[in-house]
Structure 1
């Protein structure tokens, strides 16, 4: 018989169709036969017909209370052995008064699928083992009664008759005609006794063998027909031989040592041997041996009565195998198992129990220990020791199953325990404790509750879809976002119902390929509310391992409107800024023109020079605003392009041409904001103007180099080099009366940069700085 029948019949009784659906979904595919009923009376009628192996019962029915239903099954001899797993929203069995013995376990609603499957599987195994043990015990009892009856019938008569026969025969042989033989029965009576003896021996179903104890090898002198039938050997094949040939090559049996001891001591005894028939098949032989003595108390013979106990031994072996399997099952369980008898002595304990309670000895050393004392010694392990012992006593006194009660330990672990009383023939014979470390589960459940609370409190809509694209969870925000009232309105429906056909087609064409590749996608979509109106949403999709996805969405209608308004406003500001830069440039050029007009009325060369220098500075600033006005990006300008234009503009202002001053540029693309470009442009304007004024006197020719570069640290270097006459040796450019050079040093400080000069066949200036960072403009 299998430990877990493939065709076990399970009856599901629940008035709630949703609960029935969950149970069927959990148990489908297991090979078990499932049937269901939604009311108590209908279930009782169905039980009479199908005799299920296990019942899962909701404690609340439409026509019967669960307790009353269990009591009816308990009272019926035909149904009282069917185990029931009770389901209830009550947290503990302690709340269920006077549960009948048929209730073997308890599940708390809402159900956890993995727990339902595990509990059902365990009780089907126990049901199967119980039936197997009952059948084998009945078989063993029948065999035992049969053997005892046969032995009682045969052995008593046989020994008496053989003893009487031998006594009479010996007396007649030794003392014929002796007066002491006057009480000897007549020959006819003796003959009748012998015939009766022969018929009894021949009719016995036990094998009978007599050996001669006066000879060293104990040869066989008699066997009855049952011996021949049991062993397969005929009397002719056996007589004169020692019966050890029945052992074959199996000569190291424990029973043989017992047999030799009995023969040596000349005593009676019973031994069990493995013997082999003539065809080589094994049979177990329970051999009862008795010595036979003559008148002088000399041992002359042994008589042996054979009983074929093969069926009983096989049944015992099978029982031991089942017990071993059950022990292995208990030892392999991750839960800690402790079984106590009615006196609270330990009967079974597994390694998991020792591990849970940090018991540093093998489980087998605890067998027989009394738990009354150990419970008292162990109460310090629990956070509420004063409650622990009274609660244990309360459970034991009630003798009612308790499932899922929680214990809190001082080391912050959390245990969940079950108590199951054990009744044999309705007599209490002990109980089983099962302990589970649920610390991580409790922490996970608490964390999950907090996460769920956070999800429910989120302002974004959050939903989970199964592998079939149907909603299995939605928070309230998601429900309200799409114009529904409760999550039930959308549970089980597909996401396509919330989008227009063209948007569904976009999801399948553009979004799902990216989602399948990257396992995440975020973007915008157009969704449809329950009333048919549409709105813009921002969606985040993430695939779940094993199938399904998480969807997070929010209504961005207001944001989209604000973005459009902001975009329009930015366009207006961009136009306004362009106009401002254009007008600033124009105003600066007007100032420059005024200065140029004023120069025409001046005679002093020094004053004219000052006016011209001012013109150059104004023109360099006007050029920046000209570049910004023409740039697509109002936040920065192409500074390298600006410097080249500025240098050529100064060439023109000083009436120089490429034939006299050869101008070369090496410019990397560099973009600067206006705050950095303006002082930098003035510095370059002053240094280039200084070259044009002083580096090439007397209309001499020369070269001017302008280089712009940037490194990985975003530092910018501007190099201005000429091959002119150079600076006087006794002149420090940082300490001079020249307004232009003073302005160069001051603006370098403003840039937070460095400027260096050295002479090598002319003059070289190196200006190094980083772009100034200002608060970003709106």
Structure 2
């Protein structure tokens, strides 16, 4: 009977010839055998055991030389270790024990199989799968070894790639924040876990230690203490897939689940991944906690809706500040309307698309420097509509930062300055007219009174020289002087209505009420129900005074009011109110709070309120008149005012 050890190639008998057909004459067999060996696309060699640890090659087939690039005379009578050298230097094996294992097998005359990293003559690396079989001599000793060597470089690379992929997958599986689990189910029995990642252990293992993924293996959902609705839905999904009713797509659902005492919103899915050799079905299921994501998406939707609906032109820019950036990633409808370009034209376009011939060329650099330095920018520039029309706009740009404080985007709001520029011109024109009126008052009033006083003094002198009674003349002079003094006070008050050293805004409003009572048919009063409300910023006080002055004038001239009441009072800890209420005829049917083309008076009042970061509103009073209210920031104490005197 044939020795079974020959079938597995671990031991060869001396002079073993294999099996020949009777049709092949014995004298032809050696030549045919040599042809077969040399025609094989496998490296075949025969080495002889000589000396201590020396096994030089005594035969190599033709493919051995063709593949390695060595000539026969370069390999025969040399130990096969030359294949481990590259550029004259020996290269260590991936497995440091491989060489020792090979030496041990040769010394013991045993079969050995291993994969070695070898090199061709030109230095090209290849993976050599070596089968080394000892050949027994007639005396049972081993003198020769038959080596069969295969190039398995491609296979080895594939194995390396598979190992790297497996390592990467294992790392991803373990680090994933999404709960991942593999289960196996035999027949109608319960599904038992094969493997779960730490995220799944935290989600499932209610009765186990934190992240005890290894403790979940072999357990069912019920044994892990997973309550419904998650366990119920998963078991139903397993049944549905096993029955063939699920189709090819994974089953998905969103459900609320209590996890460690908190209600969480989970997105779960189940899919079948195969059947093992015993017919057990294997499933993979995932569970992702979307609680924070859903809340964040809700907030984002609200913010998106707010930005969409606001009438403030808003642009979102990317973080590429260096030229030629930044680019526009979003433009709300108000911005689209302002620059008269479509959202498709703006989204993705460079911000410089809005530039034109009247744009300040230094503006982008100023914006870039401020954003890099402070993350904020405020300034003015000229942008251009699609047809090239220039627009003066005011920019407010702020960085949008990630959790680490690094800017990811920039939010920019644009304010059309055309209306404000026109209003500023109107206010300046009104100031010019007021100065002209004061000049006329001085010329027609005080100057004429002084001229008349000069003439009266001349008459008085003549009467006194003639010894006449000058009492009436002196009384007339006194009356003229009083009138001139009164007119001068009025002019002085118009030039400088507020004196910080004499009560500031409150005292100025009190004098305004007194003068208005004196020179108009209305009775005007002032009160401060909360006591003094100091406004330390003279610019803020000036704007508030002019608002009150205009409101009183409107109440008397247009409202035909008989009584006007001014008040200055607190409204909380950080805001104050200036109120002017009258008992006049009220509104003419239009709503002065609505956006409209106001006259210079109302426009100037709105402008001044905006300049101090205040808000102006108009209300109907119980008597049918009007109540003008200007709410403005107030920090309390002597430094109150909450804003500068510029135009904000």
TM-score interval, smaller chain = 0.3 to 0.5
User: Rg bigger for which structure?
Assistant: 1
Higher normalized helix content (fraction of residues) = 1
With the length of structure 2 as denominator, give the TM-score of the two structures: 0.45
